């Protein structure tokens, strides 16, 4: 199994540009989530989904949009990129909710100039 696949691995954007970070899992997990990791701050939850058609905000949702049309895919959209969104982004999935074992993607390093 591929597990959790994130694309792209690296991306450079200009301020104001939009883009979508892709996340797909092939484990039939209901729960998927997006995190950002900044130096010295640890991982922070952006958005999460407990199943197709259901999404909710995490700790730092502003500037990000998500949708969950299928069990497999959970894309993260930056509508108008800002330098403050420069970070490393991780997608994760699990069999259950926030308290089940998480499987992480390999991360996307995003720079906004």
Partner 1 sequence: KNEVEQSPQNLTAQEGEFITINCSYSVGISALHWLQQHPGGGIVSLFMLSSGKKKHGRLIATINIQEKHSSLHITASHPRDSAVYICAVEGMRFGAGTRLTVKP
Shortest reach from residue 16's CB to partner 1, in Å: 27
Peptide bond into 8 cis (omega under 30): yes
Bridge partners, 25 (sequence order): 4
**What SS3 class is residue 84?**
helix
* Residues in 13-52 at the binding interface with partner 1, rule: CB under 8 A: 33, 35, 40-45, 48
Nearest-angstrom CA–CA distance, 23 and 25: 7
> Which residues 53-72 are close enough to bind partner 1 by CB under 8 A?
58-59
* Contact indicator for 11, 111 with CB cutoff of 8 Å: yes
Binding residue (CB under 8 A) for partner 1 from 102, 110, 111, 112: 102
What residue ranges bind partner 1 (CB under 8 A)?
33, 35, 40-45, 48, 58-59, 88, 90, 92, 98-104, 106-107, 109
């Amino acid at each position: 199994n591929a597990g959790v696949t994130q694309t792209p691995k690296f991306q450079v954007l200009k301020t104001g540009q939009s883009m979508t970070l892709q996340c797909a899992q092939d484990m039939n997990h209901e729960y998927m989530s997006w995190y950002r990791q900044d130096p010295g701050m640890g991982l922070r939850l952006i958005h999460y989904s407990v199943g197709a058609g259901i999404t909710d905000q995490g700790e730092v949702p502003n500037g990000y949009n998500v949708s969950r049309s299928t069990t497999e895919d959970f894309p993260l959209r930056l509508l108008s990129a800002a330098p403050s969104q420069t970070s490393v982004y991780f997608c994760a999935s699990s069999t259950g909710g926030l308290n089940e074992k998480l499987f992480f993607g390999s991360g996307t390093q995003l720079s906004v100039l």
